[in-house]
Structure 1
């Protein structure tokens, strides 16, 4: 049996929705628990499928992991295992973030090549080259990333692209290396800042979080800590775009609106009234959205994770929009599903041109990744009739209480089983 959503369009979303902890942060914070013997507690964890998957990865490395409500307690042994070659690793991309902590703590790591979303090539070259500069040897052997080091030492490392994953792995390896490490062209995402803050709470010496240069003074040992995950800006923005698409009025709580500066500006350009609030923001769209051009870029640019939502907004906007994808080459697979729903769209290389129509038409569609799935549900909200969204396990990996939250805003959605 598999499950799919039935989404009935035509309702204006109204009300308030609370956003949980960031998917793109919590999994890395859980991996960071490997760096210290003892019990680390991560709070404000989202109820998503990837959290228990990461818990399974950590259990396979010898940790005791307890999941309760929005809290994860991770007890790391004095000598963790270093071989992460099991099914959970292959199911989601973020599992590769155990590589850096294992090299730092065990001086050796064997991590199965990760799986995850089908959005394009995401090689591990930068992860490996950074570890090599820190003194490790790293190769791909028998479907695994293998890294080992007699000693780790500081280094000057310049990334060819501000990769979030490479920044995280190199950072977590460097905190226990001897001497100073400088990472230039580092990723600047709020989730990187969250990881830096947690590492410093554990006794690391990391400065520059949120800038393109991270400086790490290696220490001999870290201690466990208790840390609260930041709010999920991608989930928050999804609800903001949904408000604009449905001409709704939605208050989003549990997130720092400053993490969404450009995104909220784009909604204003589309004609929405956007009001920042202490713990979130409010979006009111009174008339049909106006066309807006989007180009995805690393933070603080427009997030690639929100590209499907941008296309959904453009599909029902007044006028013609151009969407440019600069991060993942296969993310435009989503456009094919939008065309099923009646979108007037065409792609050329890393550009998509969308001519807005007043209403989309319901059809069966298939999710190819987490964000594409959410984008298709949003499209179903502005389609006539009932849209079937299949392969919704992707959505469960990134959106906690998705059906309950959407219903709470007045959306009509049902989860049903199918053969």
Structure 2
């Protein structure tokens, strides 16, 4: 299709059900790992990235219960793996959020280099910069990103470029780190605020989401 032709001037009637935001959902689902318990997530969009995230959680050891088409109960108490399968992690770019969540809870995580839609290069150097500031080490082996830390401590990160993904991943890794983390030059999109609200509901202490400085 080369173009849309829209002829206006007619009254509009009807109802539209607005689904949950994908960009918030794909970060909030990995964030359930940090709870180490049950979370009820509502208004999830029924899209492939969400289904892949739920499958990743299940393969890691989480118990997933479908309450309705858009509501899932996720119990991450008994997660027993920190390695996301190569096949699933290459299905979507947002699989890298599992790095921050797994690193935060277990001190280790492994995910394949991001896959998903072809929207051009999206380097993860800023993600790794944040993890390093918290005390983690990283390596890339055979297309797999490994991050590990014996102990995570709060740190200061000034992102070289504004990145939604790096901001969210840093938040996920920092909430269980000892001390205070300050993130500067962060993204300010609404889904950053959604993730911060969810983390705070689980007991985190995140301030400044929606501005260019976030304190955790």
TM-score scaled by structure 2?
0.92
- How far the C-alpha of 1:78 sits from its partner, in A, is 4.1
Per-residue deviation, residues 239-277 of structure 1 (Å, max 9, x unmatched):
xxxxxxxxxxxxxxxxxxxxxxxxxxxxxxxxxxxxxxx
Task: Determine helix, strand or coil for the equivalent of 2:215.
Answer: strand
- How far the C-alpha of 1:79 sits from its partner, in A, is 4.5
Equivalent pair of 1:89/1:114 in contact (CA under 8 Å): yes
Q: 2:51 & 2:99 partners in 1: Cα distance?
A: 18
Equivalent pair of 2:61/2:78 in contact (CA under 8 Å): no
Task: Determine helix, strand or coil for the equivalent of 1:91.
Answer: coil
Alignment correspondent of 1:389: none
Per-residue deviation, residues 190-229 of structure 1 (Å, max 9, x unmatched):
100010011011000110111100001xxxxxxxxxxxxx
Per-residue deviation, residues 270-297 of structure 1 (Å, max 9, x unmatched):
xxxxxxxxxxxxxxxxxxxxxxxxxxxx
Equivalent pair of 1:152/1:177 in contact (CA under 8 Å): yes
Equivalent pairs counted in the alignment come to 211
Task: Determine helix, strand or coil for the equivalent of 2:72.
Answer: strand
| Structure 1 runs not aligned, ≥5 long | 217-419
Q: 1:86 & 1:190 partners in 2: Cα distance?
A: 30
Alignment correspondent of 2:196: 196
Equivalent pair of 2:62/2:79 in contact (CA under 8 Å): no
Per-residue deviation, residues 377-398 of structure 1 (Å, max 9, x unmatched):
xxxxxxxxxxxxxxxxxxxxxx
2:57 pairs with 1:62: no
Task: Determine helix, strand or coil for the equivalent of 1:206.
Answer: coil
Equivalent pair of 2:181/2:215 in contact (CA under 8 Å): yes
Q: 1:79 & 1:53 partners in 2: Cα distance?
A: 17
Q: 1:114 & 1:215 partners in 2: Cα distance?
A: 27
Q: 2:204 & 2:139 partners in 1: Cα distance?
A: 28
2:168 pairs with 1:168: yes
- How far the C-alpha of 1:18 sits from its partner, in A, is 2.3
Alignment correspondent of 1:101: 101
Equivalent pair of 1:182/1:214 in contact (CA under 8 Å): yes
2:155 pairs with 1:155: yes
Flag the structure with more relative contact order, 1 or 2, with Cα contacts below 8 A and sequence separation at least 6: 1
Higher strand share: 1
- How far the C-alpha of 1:47 sits from its partner, in A, is 1.7
In the TM superposition, 1:70-219 aligns within 5 A as: 70-216=70-216
Equivalent pair of 1:182/1:213 in contact (CA under 8 Å): yes
Equivalent pair of 1:31/1:98 in contact (CA under 8 Å): yes
In the TM superposition, 1:358-397 aligns within 5 A as: none
Per-residue deviation, residues 331-371 of structure 1 (Å, max 9, x unmatched):
xxxxxxxxxxxxxxxxxxxxxxxxxxxxxxxxxxxxxxxxx
Alignment correspondent of 1:46: 45
Equivalent pair of 1:85/1:144 in contact (CA under 8 Å): no
| Structure 2 runs not aligned, ≥5 long | none
1:72–1:9 CA distance, 2 compared to 1 (3 A): same
In the TM superposition, 1:250-269 aligns within 5 A as: none
1:206–1:10 CA distance, 2 compared to 1 (3 A): closer
- How far the C-alpha of 1:80 sits from its partner, in A, is 3.5
Task: Determine helix, strand or coil for the equivalent of 1:193.
Answer: helix
Q: 2:78 & 2:105 partners in 1: Cα distance?
A: 9
- How far the C-alpha of 1:151 sits from its partner, in A, is 0.3
Q: 2:30 & 2:75 partners in 1: Cα distance?
A: 12
Alignment correspondent of 1:265: none
TM-score scaled by structure 1?
0.48
Alignment correspondent of 1:20: 19
